[in-house]
Amino acid sequence: MAEPFDVVTVADFSGKSAHVFEARSLLFLASWLGNAGQARDYPLHLVCIGEPPDNVRTLARKAGARLTVHEPLVIGQIKTANKLRGFEVKGETRRVLLLDTDIVFLGDLSPLAELSDVIAAAPSGYRKMPEAVWERIYPALGLEAPKDRMHSLWRELGMPPPPKKKKGEFESETEDPGGGRPYFNGGVVFAPWNSDLGTVWAGSMQHIAQLFQPGERGWEGVHVSDQAALALAIERLKARGFEFRRLPDAFHARWQHLYSGSLMPDEMKIFHATAIMRRVSSSGALTKGDT
């Protein structure tokens, strides 16, 4: 039987999105209780930025989650840096699955335990970094630019162009028919604890945050998202001898898989419901038109 792994998510109850994370945490924990299968026996950690509401504490206890409270993590203006607090928990196994809180469990996670001690992630839905910007980033970090190329999920699934505001990133992939630089979604990441991914990821965030000024090309992709830093962290760890594998789609399913028909709900184990509950305005309330 494959060894279990730690499952970790980070919820931010310290700021204006506290009610959003409350709603997401409750759905995350409820779906874990109902659908995680044999993985329900794996160590589950709920990392809270600020004090969580009582209903989250109650459901966390029912789910057997280890709950810890942390201060916000500030790295430049990167809004998602708090997720790296997830690497501060006391691991009980050799490996960790770090998840965003907008995750819904749809099936047994335990088959993922069959992965060896590798780093695994899936392609980003679309690219938030113009391809040319990478030519500035890699030399600044003293890294050789990877020769590997990959497509975003949009391109891979042959989907129509995304909304106008994302069109530039989408079209940047046409610069190379083989795809762009490696770029991954940070919402589901698997790694051995001894890779020290959290430290390497944070270091990459800090470094590239200093390279771009507001309004400069590449600034938004660095300061709004953790994904450029994740791609760099993975390259650094590969150089240290850690193996990387693509995460199977069933363990990072997204709406694009449903739209394209490439993956059916009964085939999904982890569904990344990006932006779910984003308009929750108060405890127990949704604004008009939200889901």
Q: What is the model's pTM?
A: 0.92
How many Cα atoms occupy the beta-carbon half-sphere of 154 within 13 Å? 20
11-25, 105-119, 181-195, 274-288: which has the minimum mean pLDDT?
Answer: 274-288
* pLDDT at res. 168: 45
Confidence of residue 166 (pLDDT cuts 50, 70, 90): low
Q: What residue type is 243 in one-letter code? A: E
C-alpha–C-alpha distance, residues 272 and 105, integer Å:
9
Q: What is the pLDDT of residue 171?
A: 47
User: pLDDT at position 77, please?
Assistant: 72
Provide the CATH number for the domain formed by 6-121+185-283 in this structure. Answer: 3.90.550.10
Q: How far is CA 274 from CA 3, 193, 261, in A?
A: 29, 26, 18
pLDDT tier at 110 (50, 70, 90 boundaries)? very high
Show the CA angle centred on residue 102, arms to residues 63 and 225, nearest 5°: 135
For range 98-105, the mean pLDDT:
98
Per domain, the residue ranges of the chain are: 6-121+185-283
Amino acid at 20: V
Contact 35, 63 (CB under 8 A): no
Average pLDDT over all residues of the chain: 89
Burial 107-140 (b: 16+ CB within 10 A, else e): bebbbbbebeeebbbbbbbbbbbbbebbeebeee
Q: Kindly tell me the number of DSSP H helices and DSSP E strands found in the chain.
A: 9, 11
Residue 188 is encoded by which pair of tokens? 């589901």
pLDDT score for 272 = 98
> CA–CA separation, 242 vs 195, rounded Å?
7
Tens-place pLDDT, residues 247-283: 999 999 999 999 999 999 999 999 999 989 887 766 5
> What's the whole-number mean pLDDT along residues 216-241?
88
Dihedral angle computed from the Cα positions of residues 46, 38, 186 and 277, in that order, rounded to the nearest 10 degrees: -60
Q: For residue 286, what pLDDT band results from cuts at 50, 70 and 90?
A: low
Residue 233: count of CB within 10 angstroms of its CB: 27
Helix 197-209 with 227-239: angle, nearest 10 deg: 120
Query: Distance between CA 258 and CA 62 in Å, rounded?
Result: 31
Q: Which of 98, 277, 94, 254 is nearest to 186 (CA)?
A: 98
What pLDDT is stored for residue 289 in this prediction? 46
Q: Is 66 helix (H, G, I), strand (E, B) or coil?
A: strand
The pLDDT value recorded for residue 176 is 56
